[in-house]
Amino acid sequence: METIEVIGYAASIMVAISLTMREIVKLRVLNFIGCALFVTYGLAIDAWPVVLTNSFIAVVNVYYLTKLYQSRHSE
């Protein structure tokens, strides 16, 4: 198995695991890691739909993690 395939499988596993999380912060962090791995995978195989979609999802995860962090520290 090539390294890039391992990255693709790891990305899939991280996204799948993230969807089992009850705590939203854990879900978003694991999903972000999966998205970052998918972006790496997509770049390596020259699959721009994978890169663009997962880049967008990663930005959404960072946005909401930042909002959660700010709301917890402002209370």
What are the pLDDT digits (tens) for 2-26?
A: 999 999 999 999 999 999 999 999 9
**pLDDT at position 75 over 90:** no
Handedness of CA 52, 54, 60, 66 (dihedral sign): negative
